[in-house]
Structure 1
Amino acid sequence: MASKTPVELLSVGGREVRLTSGDKVYFPEPGITKREVVHYYLAVAEPLLRVLFERPTNLKRFPDGVDGEPFYGKRLPKGAPDYAETARVTFPSGRTAESLCPTEAAVLLWAANMGTFDFHPWPVRRADTDRPDELRIDLDPQPGTDFADARTVAAALHEVLDEAGLVGWPKTSGGRGVHVFARIRPEWDFIDVRHAVIAIARRVCDRLPDQATVAWWKEERGERVFLDYNQAARDRTVASAWSVRGRPRATVSMPLTWEQLPDVEPEDFDVRTVPGLLAERGDPHEGMDAAVGGIEVALDWYGVDQRERGLGELPYPPEYPKMPGEPTRVQPSRAKAPAEDVAPS
């Protein structure tokens, strides 16, 4: 009978964390094991904890590796160690949950040992989970476009954020897209922040109408990069910087400077390359918490769009309750009459 792989103990932040089944292959193509993934998170624990600190965080877990079926954990799992703290969040339905709220590095390794690849933090801190302190824009290439197109749109977004008085921080998504974050004062609710994102995204589309879109319905997007404004809605999250993505190459969502973005490809950053890059260059987003702005200008733009351009609210995701001022959620090609303007059951 074959002997089991012995349990290993990893030390971080004065705690010891168990690593079990370290030889289990998580990424068959490059032959990356669970041990490598957990040790990767040990190497990036310091900057990752800055990203996740005191944020309600969902865990995207791949217990059977990248070829298995993943699932999201939005609540603190049973059997969590006593140092795994929580924050209470409220979902669009009005239900609440106690979500993992990282406060120390050991919890990151504990989560990684449970098969967590991606950490998906809310854009809020535990002190006020109804008011975001982070504005996020997800640049999602549609069929016929790629990462190079997302970089082009990101450059225009950089200019618009500057005009809005916000400091943008780009990162690769780990796939074909680009994510851009900006710190904001936690003075506005999710609806206001989403409106600010819509206004900013519309100005990017004004500059690049053939390359960027905010069209919610896929049939209207064409071969353009979709600025996914609904990632700013309550309970919507994106993978954090430094997260391992569930892709065959074990790519990582890599934080970058604006100067670095034009010269990189998503495949440059994976479980094996990123620790060395961090050791060599440091954290490109280390100064993010000090660059805090407001969304007053963007909200003014949203008001101008309503008054002067006839542009207002956009559709929410289908699982949301019908929101004030929201247009129909009926797919344009299927819309026949105003009577069909109803929220999905």
Structure 2
Amino acid sequence: MARAKDSSPPVELDVDGRTVRITHPERVYFPAIGATKLDLAQYYASVGEGIVRALRERPCMLHRFPEGLAGDKVHQKRLPHGAPPWVETVRVTFPRYHRTADELCVTELASVLWAVQMSTVEFHPWNSRRADVERPDEWRIDLDPMPDCPFDRVRRVAAVVHEVLDELGATGWPKTSGGNGLHVYVRIAPDHGFGDVRRAALAFAREVERRAPDDVTTTWWRKDRDPSKLFVDYNQNARDHTIASAYSVRGVPEATVSTPIRWDEVADVEPRDLTIRTVPARFAELGDLHAGIDEAVFSIEPLLEWADRDEREGAPDPGPEDVDADQP
């Protein structure tokens, strides 16, 4: 019976002069809300300016669900076979494995919708661009609540993050994670490698922890963290670590969206309310709330000075960059 429902004829979408063919448009990707593959494509088309800005010229890993959420998830680094010639890629290396991969490199909305045709639900870009993939231009502050951490605590920590960023003269661009946390992005000058950006992110996380010790942890291993606290996950700035982009749908039953918000919304936002059903109208009303991100560039030099100070004062080694701190 499931296959019978997938027998609808393909739908052709005109995307800025390109034709993207969506096969099996009625395949249900999100059974809990009845959202289909075509619904997913139409969602991404509705936030086109925002999703392209979030992904533009970044190596991008795809989280694909060939049978929808009822089936298995595929973590796809290499571009899927069958791409039309206008879909662009960027080659990245994985030194640990002595391998390379040609990853999707979005430059236009049609590439996003082609990835949806290839069953992509989530888009996970690098924090660097193809002009120099080894030098990030985006610092990512991931406010990751532990299992017993209430969302009110996430809100409080976000306010501290905002306070510290203001003191540094850095502009932070908040968004929901699409899960239980919040992300804040800061555009940075691409003057440093991943190691330095991670050191800067750790120094910032430690400062937030100093100001909110009852709410925040920077403890490396998940098993050693207080389950009621929020982890400021600086390791999301390590090489080849990715998180869902702004406007990416998440592969969860409610089809939540990692959604840009204003700072004055943090106190009241309910992330579960931001879904593929609700975000298009919000986008139509507000536009892309991250539209100015590329003009607000920050130098991480002050944070590297903080990192030097912390290391002189004997701050503990947080752990290796290439090991997942969240493993059991």
Match for residue 281 of structure 2 among 267, 270, 276: 276
Which residue is equivalent to 1:204? 208
Higher relative contact order (CA 8 A, sep 6+): 2
Normalised by the length of structure 2, the TM-score is 0.94
Rounded to whole Å, the distance in 2 between the matches of 1:38 and 1:180 is: 26
Q: Residue 84 in 1 paired to residue 98 in 2?
A: no
RMSD between aligned alpha carbons? Answer: 1.8
Shift of 1:97: 1.6
CA contact (8 A) 1:119 1:240 kept: yes
CA contact (8 A) 2:187 2:297 kept: yes
CA contact (8 A) 2:158 2:266 kept: no
Q: Residue 240 in 1 paired to residue 245 in 2?
A: yes
Rounded to whole Å, the distance in 2 between the matches of 1:237 and 1:161 is: 22
Rounded to whole Å, the distance in 1 between the matches of 2:251 and 2:129 is: 26
Shift of 1:302: 0.4
Which residue is equivalent to 2:26? 23
CA contact (8 A) 2:145 2:231 kept: yes
Deviations 1:74-98 (A, max 9, x none): 1111111111111111224153221
Shift of 1:219: 2.7
Rounded to whole Å, the distance in 1 between the matches of 2:104 and 2:172 is: 27
Which residue is equivalent to 2:37? 34
Rounded to whole Å, the distance in 2 between the matches of 1:68 and 1:163 is: 47
Counterparts of 1:304-323 in structure 2, within 5 Å, are 304-307=309-312, 309-311=313-315, 313-316=317-320, 319=323
Amino acid at match of 1:259: D
> Any unmatched runs of 5+ in structure 1?
321-328, 333-345
Which residue is equivalent to 1:69? 72
SS for the counterpart of 1:112 is helix
Shift of 1:46: 1.4
Amino acid at match of 1:110: W
Shift of 1:318: 5.5
Which residue is equivalent to 2:159? 155
Rounded to whole Å, the distance in 2 between the matches of 1:79 and 1:147 is: 42
Shift of 1:317: 5.2
Which residue is equivalent to 1:45? 48
Which residue is equivalent to 1:218? 222
Which residue is equivalent to 2:9? 6
SS for the counterpart of 1:40 is helix
Rounded to whole Å, the distance in 1 between the matches of 2:151 and 2:124 is: 21
CA contact (8 A) 2:127 2:139 kept: yes
Percent of aligned positions that are identical = 52
Which residue is equivalent to 1:60? 63
Which residue is equivalent to 2:270? 265
Amino acid at match of 2:83: A
Which residue is equivalent to 1:326? none
CA contact (8 A) 1:122 1:236 kept: yes
Q: Residue 130 in 1 paired to residue 106 in 2?
A: no
Deviations 1:305-344 (A, max 9, x none): 111x311531135648xxxxxxxx9x99xxxxxxxxxxxx
Amino acid at match of 2:217: T
CA contact (8 A) 1:58 1:120 kept: yes
Rounded to whole Å, the distance in 1 between the matches of 2:89 and 2:137 is: 18
Rounded to whole Å, the distance in 2 between the matches of 1:188 and 1:88 is: 20
Shift of 1:28: 1.0
Rounded to whole Å, the distance in 2 between the matches of 1:12 and 1:147 is: 38
Shift of 1:72: 1.1
Normalised by the length of structure 1, the TM-score is 0.90
Rounded to whole Å, the distance in 2 between the matches of 1:154 and 1:143 is: 18
CA contact (8 A) 1:165 1:297 kept: no
Which residue is equivalent to 2:179? 175
> Any unmatched runs of 5+ in structure 2?
none
CA contact (8 A) 1:161 1:167 kept: yes
Amino acid at match of 2:262: T
